[in-house]
Amino acid sequence: MTVYDYVIVGGGTAGCVLANRLTANGRFKVLMLEAGGEPKSPWIPIPAGFSKLLVNTRYNWRFQTAPEPNTKGRVIAVPRGKGLGGSSLINGMIYVRGQPGDYDAWEQAGAKGWNFQSMAPYFRKLEAYQHGGEGRGREGPMNVHRVNEMYPIAQAFLEAARQDGQPANSDYNASVQEGFGYYQVFQKQGRRWSAYDAYLKPIRRRANLEVVTGAQVQQLQMAQGRCVGLRYRVGEREVTVQAGREVILCAGTIQTPQLLELSGIGREDVLRQAGIPLQHRLDGVGENYIDHFATRMNWRLRNTLTLNEMARGWRLGLAVAEYARRRTGILTLGTGLVHGFVRTRKELATPDVQYFFVHASYANAAERILDRHPGMTLGVSQLRPKSVGSIHIQSADASQMPAIKPNFLDAEEDRQSMIEGMRIARRIVGQPALRDYIEAETSPGQGVTSDEQWLEFARDNGQTIYHPIGTCRMGEGPLAVVDSSLRVHGLAGLRVVDASVIPTMVSGNIQGAVMAVAERAADLILQEAV
């Protein structure tokens, strides 16, 4: 049986960071296990290719929520990346650090030492921000670039925000998040820049790193209160490996608690129902599931071209030629063009709602099918939701999807932030700068005016925007799963490093936060290994 110092479960965002950092000094033998495959799709490096990958079962697990009354019994898609690079292969590439108070709240919730002062150096460490600025990193592995495709309708939207009294903000990742401007994205020379590109691809030849793809981990192996290894399957073959130092779970917010429960670690009633003997009781496993919920408001436009027309027919042919020649144009665009961070109530110290503007609209958002007419979309999302759900296994079969219950819109604060965020969005679009462009509001439509109608629209149409966290919460107390060093409470040799450890939501897209967590975790692991 092969023995490794560290066995990393999951080759996604956090796993790629750890594989790089833990093998850098050459002292430790590291095995990375990834259930997906190599990132070979030609759509991956093309930023606009995300629309193809989000419906591709080779690169997306295509999880779904259980039907819940808060969202009218709808089944909601929960995309998760599959393959080396994880969700950084298929996401919208948007980079948001969040607000300093987010990380201070982690510490206040029991995650000692995880305040913003301790996290800021790791954001700088991972960044190579092309536009510079105080407090920004310039030499990190993750290339960050401000969106540079500036279309007339986007400029008009920014002017409308100014007319509404909203501040301009060219760097929301600096000291102040509030305001409007162009998003920052993980791209390099017009191509997607994933965690695989930045962290794993450059080190694949290191002699002390072994990467196995197509490896579905079945169960952790325990002995006398310690995780000593695991069992995984490749095709029909089962393999057992030992970890001399640690097994590190980087399987993400959905699959990390799933694997813990399959191994008998979690809530006794959940395990009993699945027919799994209890190995170690941890009541917080699978609890504290939090995600960003969003509505998409749409307008039919006039007097301008939008992606709806530019992404079909002869215009698409021109766009492909432009991208092939210069790496510019519509194929460099992801899920957001212009950002907005707003306070829905003046008494709030910081923004509580995020906007995603793009000059496109979908006839079928789930399948990424664009409208035939010119359109634009404004995504509206509450930044720090208080509604909390759960993720738990339904059987002892590792291939069966767990029950995902987000409990969206359960908290009154969440409902009010969403309602006011949509109202402000309509008010901004109604400013003079957009008057010549707006033909009609198509969703939800001008007939929606009361709180009840806005909330009904959200319940009928809202979706996750793919930022699940929290199911192996970091901290202390009966529902904490890992301590402040990310070690699983009550067990030796087992650590969790992924979005599942984040105790409370980050104000924005979470990929940057996950990378910073992994960078800091690598330092903690190496400090303990001396």
Q: Which residues are catalytic?
A: 467
Half-sphere exposure in the Cβ direction for 335 (13 Å, CA): 22
Axis crossing angle, helix 412-429 with helix 152-163, rounded to the nearest 10: 110
The residues, any chain, with a CB within 8 Å of residue 379's CB and separated by 6 or more, are 294, 295, 296, 297, 336, 355, 356, 357, 465
What is the token pair recorded at 108?
């206040």
**For residues 42 and 59, is the Cβ–Cβ distance under 8 A?**
no
**Which of 418, 403, 513, 422 shows the shortest CA–CA distance to 467?**
513
Match 């599931």 to its residue by tokens.
Answer: 289
**C-alpha span between 321 and 143 (Å, rounded):** 24
Cβ-Cβ contacts under 8 Å for 201 (sequence gap 6 or more): none
Sequence-distant (≥ 6) Cβ neighbours of residue 234 within 8 angstroms: 212, 214, 215, 216
Tell me the CB-side half-sphere exposure of residue 318, using CA atoms within 13 A. Answer: 9
Which residues are CB-contacts of 492 (< 8 A; sequence separation ≥ 6)?
Answer: 225, 226, 227
Tokens 């923004």 appear where? 351
- Mode of pairing for the β-strands spanning 30-34 and 3-9: parallel
Q: Which residues, 6+ apart, have CB-to-CB distance to 378 below 8 Å?
A: 296, 297, 298, 299, 355, 356, 357, 425, 429
